[in-house]
Chain A
Amino acid sequence: GAGVSQSPRYKVAKRGQDVALRCDPISGHVSLFWYQQALGQGPEFLTYFQNEAQLDKSGLPSDRFFAERPEGSVSTLKIQRTQQEDSAVYLCASSSTSGATYEQYFGPGTRLTVT
């Protein structure tokens, strides 16, 4: 079956613009995660959903970052008033277990460049 998909794959935004990044998880996966990956580093956790409920948003770096998953499937990560330090690859992952105890399957990521 299809894996996790993300769109767009690349996004260039001018500083101060708002962006929206989309994630389509593997069908039927209850858990969905967003990570931020800087060049040469491992992914860093941003937020976690179980179905439509956002259970953990402790990794969101500022109140400019907002995520939603209104119907428990597709998720959107929104960044308002983008800054240069927001430039990174944003990865989405999904998992089949509600307890988030098992492996997560990642999408290809969205590379965001803020100019």
Chain B
Amino acid sequence: EDQVTQSPEALRLQEGESSSLNCSYTVSGLRGLFWYRQDPGKGPEFLFTLYSAGEEKEKERLKATLTKKESFLHITAPKPEDSATYLCAVQAYSNNDMRFGAGTRLTVKP
């Protein structure tokens, strides 16, 4: 069965303190791995799709990387507005749905 585990569950950073969020996954035939950001009371906002091991994508202070077993979301010099829950999801070739992890709740203090 496809599984996604995110760690840590919660992360508190000082503004400017870089860190990484982890997404470990098991899936039979990875079609794509997705990162989303979710603010309280809102729907998930798409950030990145990664398709193959070794792939990297960047957007502002965020960079996502992918290996055969895990993905990292690196946050460089975060700002308070980066505070949110970051969700990781995988999609397998064999089905249509995305399997989500429980998310990492990031708080960035000024």
Interface residues of B, count at CB 8 A:
24
Query: Is A104 interfacial (CB 8 A cutoff)?
Result: yes
B5-48 contact mask (Cβ, 8 Å, vs A): 1 or 0: 00000000000000000000000000110101000011111100
Q: Which residue of B lies closest to A91 (CB)?
A: B43
Whether the Cβ atoms of A103 and B46 lie closer than 8 Å is: yes
Complex Cα spacing A109 to B43, Å: 6
Of A37-45, A68-76, A79-87, the one with at least 4 CB within 8 A of chain B:
A37-45
Q: Dominant SS at the A interface?
A: loop
Q: Which residue of B lies closest to A56 (CB)?
A: B96
Chain A residues contacting B98 (CB-CB under 8 Å) are 33, 43, 45, 104
CB within 8 Å of B: which A3-48 residues: 4, 33, 40-45, 48
Of the candidates B49, B87, B99, B101, the one whose C-beta lies within 8 Å of that of A103 is B49
Whether the Cβ atoms of A42 and B103 lie closer than 8 Å is: yes
Whether the Cβ atoms of B91 and A59 lie closer than 8 Å is: no
Return B15 CB to nearest CB of chain A, in Å.
25
Q: Which residues of A approach B to under 8 Å, CB–CB? A: 4, 33, 40-45, 48, 55-56, 58-59, 91, 93, 100-109
A-B contact pairs, 28 of them (CB 8 A): A4-B43, A40-B102, A42-B87, A42-B100, A42-B101, A42-B102, A43-B44, A43-B87, A43-B100, A45-B97, A48-B97, A55-B96, A56-B95, A56-B96, A91-B43, A91-B44, A100-B96, A101-B31, A103-B34, A103-B49, A104-B34, A104-B46, A106-B36, A106-B45, A107-B43, A108-B42, A108-B43, A109-B43
